[in-house]
Structure 1
Amino acid sequence: MRTIIGWAVLLLATAWVGAVEIKRPVDMGFVPLRAVSYEEAVELCTPLLSKDGKLTYAKIKNLLVIHDYPENIEAVKKLLAQIDEDPVNVRVDIFMDQAAQEKSSSFDVNLRNVRVEHRDGHTRVDGGIGISAGQGSREMSGSTNPFIMAGNGRPARIWVGETVADPVWVYEYGMGQGWWKQELVNRDLGVSLWVLPRVLPNDLVEIEVYPRVTARGSTPLSVDVKELGTKVVVQNGATMPLGGLDSSRRDAYRRILGVGSVFNGSNLSISVRPTIMRMPERLRQEKARQDQPPEKH
């Protein structure tokens, strides 16, 4: 009997110690985010947390807040120190030049050396009337140079179009039965030019450039989306022409970049030039000072 009681006391003591360990206080840690976004940090760091741990975000200071035990907080800090880096932006200049030959025909009537006199109620016209007819062609050229500023590995766009509100029906589920209600959904219709730069070693930049055309579909309230992409690798500060532009790509670029329809059927040349924009050392030090977490009291 004493043996049974002893084992029972031992089991209760073990359970009590385990409960104390589980309920130990959770600490708080801070990590200033640089190039890694909060969503990326959550995806990467969540496996390092305990079942009681969680991550939150101080948006104003761009701080990742870690609520967990000290060893888990240190594991998250160590991982982010290895993968996070100073933010890098890329300015992508887009050069578009094209030339066209415009054919024309003319039939002009010109009045030359005209003199009008009024005498005794009569009007007299002296001069000559010239009539010219002919046909020929003339060379036309045009260029435009927009630029896009994008974060390293993050897309940015130039957009030309309009935002429309489409009514849609949504079914709401209730305790007993559901009901239908109407809501408005905003849709972007038009043409956009997306640029996605990635900084590679040795100051190389991989650039994906693709126009996206969004228009009304064949059925009511539907939307059709078409994308055409081009990818190049360019040295920082160098200019690279985009090759392989078929007629559909050329038309999409014209609509975005502002060259009129007068150039339909003309020669088109599109080039890109990336410029890596890194944070100056003085600003980096100032930002590091401002990102220091608040001291504990």
Structure 2
Amino acid sequence: MREFLLSKQGQHPLDKDLIFLLEDIATSCRVISHQIRGGAFAGQLGATDSTNVQGETQKQLDVIANEVFVRHCSNCNRVAALVSEEVDEVYWLKARPQPGDYLVYFDPLDGSSNLDVNLSVGSIFSISQLPSAIDASDDRSVLLAGSAQICAGYSVYGPSTSLVITTGSGVNGFTHQQGTGEFRLTFPDMVIPETTSEFAINASRYTLWEPPVRRYYDECIAGTNGPRGKTFNMRWTASMVAEVHRILTRGGVFLYPEDAGNADAGGKLRLMYEANPMALIVEQAGGAATTGSDRILDLQPSSHHQRVPVILGSREEVDVLNRYHRDA
């Protein structure tokens, strides 16, 4: 991976400290993958007695993955702060963050409810660079819009361990080569097809959805005799990284909309370390990412644990969903 990132120094120069930070994140993902694969032997697959700031019961591997990310990302002396899904407060690493310092946002183990049934889980991360000095005594200082990201990525812990990264000039996928510790470029220049016949949504929440989402779902499952005039396949794995990875490899659209069950919280998925990084990756691969009404990367955060609705993937389907929300 280092060779690839260094090769980008020509057209799109990357700061060497950013490359080192990405290597630290890759190491975190490799360690977490190893912990997951050995989790059953180490008795680490069950839940803890604690909940995170979201009110969700933490798995043991949620806590372990968070500790791994914090330990490795703290190696870079340009990192001013870390923002994790698993911890209420911001981890401040610098007392006086300066212009050019990094902020790292991460969901250390996305989809951890899948651990006990041996389905794919992953990690999501985002890096922003400070344009000016900020106040380390005020956690609101980390509330930068998604458009300020300079890098985003995720890792999927499945049959192989994948690492997908964008630094603002396309999307590239790497696969961990067992026995070497290396992530090798295996999916260069990932592009999302503009059209698709596949969508991912949790249909068990149908009665909670707002009319535009119900309309879209009903039209998709109506098949060739419906308004869309074609057959759609529906997928749902309860792991955002797995859903987005499928979309990047063969197209599709992913929906986790605001509904009657999560409207009071603003939605289900977190803006800073889930929606923003995935939105940047999807847009860099030619797709689109919105809340149904607004481009996700344009949102101004109000909290570092803020939740938002998420619709992302193949541009044609996202446009249809945006139109249905406008019509409503």
Q: Normalization by structure 2: what TM-score?
A: 0.21
More helix by share: 2
More strand by share: 1
Of structures 1 and 2, the larger Rg is shown by: 1
